[in-house]
């Protein structure tokens, strides 16, 4: 019988070996699977960490780019650190970030947009004010605001809303909502060409910022600075202007008073009696080969820009800033409307009004003429307050906006229809 047991034993041993091999293989496969799952888990964890790091790096990069461009998203809280009178009607406001974080740089000549919360208004009043100090002053932003009182010939007229509010109801320590520096009217310090800076009244603020920035940057080209005022009491920054001229050989300051007081002497208190204009430039400048930067009241800007063009100054070398009534469009004669000019239908959907447009007015002016209320600020395509959705139709712009709005919207303060239009207003 032993000969029968031997084959069975061999078969059993073979089966056990096969089972053992299969179990080993199964264990090996299971371990490999566990290792693969663990490796995948580690990989996924590392991938998530990498994605987080990349997202953080991208965010930091965007913040760095935004800061380098002098901006931030939306409104930022600023505290009025100081109020300094510059004249009987002009006060400078020194603004510091409420969050204590650093201030981004700005370009000399740019402006800030304010959302002012007046007590008698449901919505903030939006206004733009030029930065009036040099970007090299990194601890604060400064604006210089003229209080607009009723004109002497119309004492019953209301005073300026925003300027009166800032002067009389905004004390030191107050918090204001401010949008980032913006605007295409600025001095390019890399351009390095001789420049003429022209400021009329409180319009001196952006060109004064340019002057200080140029001096701080070691600008070595010729700089002429013309400031127009009625008399000395209205001339702001007098001491600063004289100090800058004394410290920099390439700077020439000229104060022009149109109606000096009896005790103000020509050559001592001011340089020229009369208005700032091209006839004066022809007497003082060796040529017209300068870049001219202009900011002031509409009549001055209209006259100076037209006369500069007639003098042969290229259009690209005549640069100007304007807000509200002093918008660039307003400084030029309104274009004549041809007899066969197209007439377009403009529907203000929310207001339930449909009117015809057949001239050179902006859509904002058309809305106001028909008692349709649209919030606005600069009225020159700069601040973005008047952005309005276009439900249908197309528009173009009288002058290019500082920043184009999103697709499907327009800046009604400078927009004109090119077809029948339906606005979300």
**268-287 residue pLDDT tens:** 999 999 999 999 999 999 99
Which spans in 186-345 are helix H? 204-216, 238-247, 278-284, 298-310, 328-331
The pLDDT tens digits for 99-148 are: 999 999 999 999 999 999 999 888 888 899 999 999 999 999 999 999 99
What is the predicted pLDDT for the residue at 382?
Answer: 75
pLDDT beyond 70 at 3? no
| Least confident interval from 97-101, 206-210, 360-364, 367-371 | 360-364
pLDDT at 67: 46
What pLDDT sits at residue 123?
84
Q: Give the DSSP letter of residue 256.
A: E
DSSP calls for 12-80: HHHHHHHHHHHHHHHHHHHHHHHHHHHHHHHHHHHHHHHHHHHHHHHHHHHHHHHHHTT--SSEEEEEE
Predicted TM-score (pTM) of this structure: 0.74
pLDDT of residue 399 exceeding 80:
no
Higher per-residue pLDDT: 400 or 156 = 156
Q: pLDDT averaged over the chain?
A: 85
Higher pLDDT, 359 or 327: 359
More confidently predicted of 126 and 260: 260
In the chain, what percentage of residues exceed pLDDT 70?
A: 81
Reported as a pLDDT band with limits 50, 70 and 90, residue 43 is low
Question: Could you tell me which residues come within 8 angstroms of residue 264 by beta carbon, excluding any fewer than 6 positions away?
Answer: 231, 232, 257, 270
Please give the average per-residue pLDDT across 367-395, as a whole number.
87
Q: Is 213 helix (H, G, I), strand (E, B) or coil?
A: helix
Q: Is the pLDDT of residue 347 over 90?
A: yes
What local confidence, expressed as pLDDT, does residue 62 receive? 40
47 — pLDDT class (breaks 50, 70, 90): very low
Tell me if 177 sits within 8 A of 124, measured CB to CB. Answer: yes
pLDDT at 73 over 70: yes
In this predicted structure, the answer to whether residue 187 has a pLDDT above a threshold of 70 is: yes
Q: List the single range of 22-26, 184-188, 210-214 with lowest mean pLDDT.
A: 22-26
Averaged pLDDT for residues 217-246: 96
Q: Nearest to residue 198, comparing CAs of 317, 84, 112, 94?
A: 317
């Amino acid at each position: 019988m032993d000969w029968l047991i031997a084959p069975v034993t061999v078969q059993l041993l073979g089966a056990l070996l096969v089972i053992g091999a299969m179990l080993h293989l199964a264990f090996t496969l299971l371990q490999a699977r566990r290792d693969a799952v663990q490796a995948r888990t580690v990989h996924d964890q590392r991938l998530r960490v990498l994605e987080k790091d990349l997202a953080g790096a991208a965010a930091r990069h965007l913040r760095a780019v935004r800061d380098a461009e002098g901006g931030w998203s939306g409104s930022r809280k600023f505290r009025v650190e100081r109020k300094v009178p510059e004249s009987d009607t002009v006060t400078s406001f020194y603004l510091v970030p409420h969050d204590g974080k650093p201030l981004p740089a700005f370009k000399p000549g740019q402006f800030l947009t304010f959302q002012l919360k007046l007590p008698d208004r449901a919505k903030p009043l939006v206004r733009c004010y030029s930065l009036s100090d040099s970007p090299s002053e990194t601890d604060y932003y400064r604006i210089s605001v003229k209080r607009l009182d009723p004109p002497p010939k119309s004492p019953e007229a209301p005073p300026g809303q925003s300027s009166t509010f800032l002067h009389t109801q905004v004390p030191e320590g107050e918090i204001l909502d401010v949008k980032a520096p913006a605007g295409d009217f600025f001095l390019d310090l890399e351009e390095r060409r001789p420049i003429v800076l022209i400021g009329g009244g409180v319009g001196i603020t952006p060109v004064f910022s340019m002057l200080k920035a140029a001096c701080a940057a070691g600008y070595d080209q010729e700089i002429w600075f013309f400031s127009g005022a009625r008399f000395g009491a209205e001339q702001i920054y007098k001491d600063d202007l004289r100090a800058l001229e004394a410290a920099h050989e390439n700077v020439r300051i000229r104060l022009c008073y149109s109606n000096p007081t009896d005790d103000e002497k020509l050559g001592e208190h001011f340089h020229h009696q009369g208005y700032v204009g091209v006839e004066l430039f022809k007497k003082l400048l060796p040529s017209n080969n300068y870049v001219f930067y202009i900011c002031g009241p509409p009549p001055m800007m209209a006259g100076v820009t037209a006369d500069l063009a007639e003098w042969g100054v290229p259009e690209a070398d005549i640069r100007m800033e304007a807000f509200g009534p002093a918008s660039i469009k307003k400084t030029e004669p309104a274009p004549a409307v041809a007899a066969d000019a197209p007439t377009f239908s403009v529907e203000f959907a929310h207001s339930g009004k449909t009117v015809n447009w057949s001239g050179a007015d902006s859509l904002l002016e058309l809305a106001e003429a028909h008692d349709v209320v649209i919030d606005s600020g600069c009225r020159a395509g700069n601040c973005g307050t008047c952005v309005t959705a276009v439900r249908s139709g197309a528009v173009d712009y009288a002058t290019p906006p500082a920043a184009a709005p999103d697709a499907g919207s327009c800046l009604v303060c400078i927009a004109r229809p090119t077809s029948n239009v339906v606005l979300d207003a």
